Amino acid sequence: MRRSALVLLAVVGMLRGGPARAAEGSLLAVPLPDDSWPVTSRGRLTADLGLALGAPTALGTGLSTGAAAGVSFGGGLLALGARASWSTATESSIAWTVSQSDIRLRAGAALQHASGRGRMALRLMLGPTLVHESRTRNQGQRAGLTGSELEASAWAARPAADLEAVIALHVAGPWLMMLSGGPSLSLASGTAHAGWLGQLGVGWQP
């Protein structure tokens, strides 16, 4: 009976604040850091680099892959920026093998909102897309073809616009993980051609 009373008094003492004292010296009492991956910067400048994917600008099919980079400046609702990307795609038919490289040069603005570690934005970018196309006639060398009958290449410039949704997540220090994508529109001979583009990469916000 006496032992039961002592146990009861000990439990009451722990409920009144004893657990903090009883936990002293315990591994479970070691305080955990508030943030194991602290964010060290939220500056106005953001630069990013990553993998670029999209529909070829002038080819009717295929997937164009390459690299993209950009920079933006703005810490509030509005940010201004510039971007550049290069991607290439190759498609074949019975007669030809066609390779196209797209060089996108863009400038524009974004509406953005930051929440916690994340930042969401909707950006509109305008500028030219430079398209380089090379064609090679399949089995042309065996047939003895040379010159333009065997292969040909050409450059073209198209005005274009991109509308992308952007998600940026602070990972650690000044580094971010970034994902973006959306529709793209280009003009050729007065005709609009719709496509899409996306990017997965890393960002740096000093």
Q: How confident is the model at residue 135 (pLDDT cuts 50, 70, 90)?
A: confident
Q: CATH number of the domain at 169, please.
A: 2.40.160.20
Query: What are the pLDDT digits (tens) for 145-194?
Result: 665 666 788 999 999 999 999 999 999 889 999 999 999 999 988 899 99
Residue 122 lies in a domain: yes
Residue 35 lies in a domain: no
Residue 165 lies in a domain: yes
Residue 26 lies in a domain: no
Residue 200 lies in a domain: yes
Question: Which residues span the domain enclosing 130?
Answer: 41-204
Query: What are the pLDDT digits (tens) for 45-69?
Result: 999 999 999 999 988 888 999 999 9
Our count of domains for the chain comes to 1
Residue 11 lies in a domain: no
What does the radius of gyration of the chain's CA atoms come to, in whole angstroms? Answer: 29
Residue 50 lies in a domain: yes
- pTM reported for the whole predicted model: 0.76
Q: How confident is the model at residue 12 (pLDDT cuts 50, 70, 90)?
A: very low
Residue 10 lies in a domain: no
